[in-house]
Structure 1
Amino acid sequence: MITINAAKGPIKVECWEDVLERAGFTPNLDPTQHKLDSVIGRYVFGDMVKCGLSNCHTQHARGYIVATTSGLETNIGKDCGKRYFGLDFDHMAKQFDIDMTAYENRDILWSFSFQVEELEEKITALRTTNKGADWVNKNASALMNPAKLPLPITRQLSKLVKQRSGTYTVDREANPEELDEMEAKAGRKLIRPQYVTDYEVNIRGIEALYPENNLRELLVLQLLDELKAFKELAIDNLSNTQLSRWKMWATSVDLTLEKAIVSIEYGRVLLIKENLEPLSRLENLNANGELERFLAFLEQLS
């Protein structure tokens, strides 16, 4: 990649031959006879090119295009630039990199600004469609909230989230017949009590409850709130730090949207009555109408 700072802004040059053909460019500049005027370009290659200084010609894959006070141009690597042109080159190269990064970030943000309305419409559609993000978020949040659903339910789901799996088993004390069978297999007397698996449950879509898949965080806080703030920006007046911050956010939007879409699908799988019904077999759900409260929650999912 070759970037040259032209009068109307940076331009991308396709190949090294285009640089060699620039008026005033020389691949054999004597640094003792010329004074550095400015850094006007930079390049990064997979292949090597020779340094343009007559007393160097070291091959390198990245470097800068510089202009001299005499009007000549050449290419040099960072080390030889500093060696032959001193701190002036070092300062100019750093400033060029800062300016080019700021220009590229600003260009990205201006391009992104034309997508804002479409993004807002897409997010609204994701939230309001049948069993969309708002529906998933409301019901998934209830599954983790003891104020909304019985504590045994929310506690069990919290355990599943912590273990990053929707599978769990419920054990019970072995009855006499099962003990006899266990001892027969072991060929010895076993210490009491012994336990057997009463049943195994696999809650599908448990990923919808993982913190990183929280739909309010993804769609409202990370996208809508940030879009609102972005629309208030004066892009041309942003500092380099602000440009960097907003460029990082703008280039992450597509990934955030994808995460939200996947989370909605997880939620639709999770929030199916038959999928969550096995939780009604948990102990301590019969007191104070808690089982009925959970079953009513399952019914409204349909």
Structure 2
Amino acid sequence: MITLNTERGLERIASWDDIATISGFTPNIDPKTVKLKEIIGSYAFDAYIPCGLSTCHQPHGKGFLVAAVDGRVTNIGRFCGKTHFSVEFTQMSRVYLAAVRAQQNREFLGALKNQLPTISAEVAALKSGQNGASWIYSRINQLTGQTVSLPAPITNAVRQAIRRGDGILMKERAATKQEREDRAAAVDVAGLEHLRRNVSFGVEVRMGQLDGFAAIAPGSELRPILLAIEPFLSTLPDTDIDNLPDKQLRELSKVGGELDANLERLRTLVAAGRRLLVRQNISQLAPFATNRSETQSLEKFLRDLPQQEF
């Protein structure tokens, strides 16, 4: 593939044969008698192309198309460029590559700009639609105790499942007499004399597992993802891409390059949140309530949830 940086933008040429049609192209230039003007293109091929310098002609797969002050154009590899044209070539290659990257960023952002209506509509639906990110975010904050609405035993159970990293709901109860006896029989009496037959201890019991746990797993917060998406979607439509300073162009392109991944992350977390915030799923927390008042608080929360996934 050959990339030419022209006044009309980047032109991509698939065949080396087309290079011969460039005005002034010659496959044989004496580096001792030529002065470079600028780099006008670059190429990368599986098949090797002979160097255009008369003192080399070594085949290579990657190189640059250079224009001389006298109007001639030829192709040279990176090493030949540095060897014969030293710092001048290095500087030209930097200028060329920076210009190509900038033009590629402009093309990328321009194409993305055309897709914005569709993308913005999807983000709006994922955020503000029925059981969307805003609705999910508010209720996850209640479940995890970020906002005061559910009793501590309920939110502590959820937090414990988050710390465990698997969404499993565990509740501790006192060991039965038989469990205490079994434990005492199993210990090394000589080394663990303090574990007497009647000493009580807690036993963890699995009460259930939260479906859609990914919505509350560490690092799954919805707000940072929306903050990475929404400012970009609101900024790009009114941005003059062609006249954007290089630094802003790079920064905006970087955010744009992360858009697909952020969108997929948003879709995934909203889907997980909708699985999580289903009445039957969250009702697994009922055994953690310690009194009628706590049970009523959970029931009120449950009434606001759909009976099945949206």
TM-score range, shorter chain: 0.7 to 0.9
> Residues 27 and 53 of structure 2 are in contact (CA less than 8 Å); yes or no, is this contact kept in structure 1?
yes
* Distance verdict in 2 for CA 1:240–1:153, change over 3 Å: same
Question: Which amino acid in structure 1 is aligned with residue 250 of structure 2?
Answer: S
1:32 Cα offset (Å): 0.9
| TM-score, normalised with respect to structure 1 | 0.88
Match of 2:153 in 1: 152
| TM-score, normalised with respect to structure 2 | 0.86
Distance 1:29 1:268 in 2: 67
Match of 2:110 in 1: 110
1:297 matches 2:304: no
Distance 2:250 2:133 in 1: 30
Match of 1:258 in 2: 264
Distance 1:45 1:152 in 2: 65
What stretches of structure 1 of length at least 5 have no aligned partner?
Answer: none
Question: Which amino acid in structure 1 is aligned with residue 43 of structure 2?
Answer: Y
* Distance verdict in 2 for CA 1:159–1:177, change over 3 Å: closer
1:83 Cα offset (Å): 1.4
Query: Residue by residue, what CA displacement relative to the aligned partner does 1:44-63 show, whole Å, maximum 9, x if unpaired?
Result: 23443332212223343322
1:222 matches 2:228: yes
1:209 pairs with one of 207, 216, 222: 216
Match of 1:236 in 2: 242
| Corresponding residue SS for 2:304 | helix
| Corresponding residue SS for 1:213 | coil
Residues 1-302 of structure 1 aligned to structure 2 (within 5 Å): 1-144=1-144, 145-182=146-183, 191=196, 192-210=199-217, 212-219=219-226, 221-282=227-288, 285-286=290-291, 289-302=293-306
1:183 Cα offset (Å): 5.2
Query: Identity, % of aligned pairs?
Result: 31
Distance 2:91 2:72 in 1: 20
| Corresponding residue SS for 1:45 | strand
> Residues 161 and 207 of structure 1 are in contact (CA less than 8 Å); yes or no, is this contact kept in structure 2?
no
Distance 1:40 1:68 in 2: 10
1:156 Cα offset (Å): 3.0
Distance 2:78 2:102 in 1: 20
1:31 Cα offset (Å): 0.5
Q: Which moved more, 1:268-277 or 1:209-218?
A: 209-218
1:141 Cα offset (Å): 2.2
Distance 2:212 2:29 in 1: 66
Question: Which amino acid in structure 1 is aligned with residue 238 of structure 2?
Answer: E
The number of residues matched between the two structures is 299
What stretches of structure 2 of length at least 5 have no aligned partner?
Answer: none
Query: Residue by residue, what CA displacement relative to the aligned partner does 1:159-207 show, whole Å, maximum 9, x if unpaired?
Result: 3334322014323332112334455677979643354333342112121
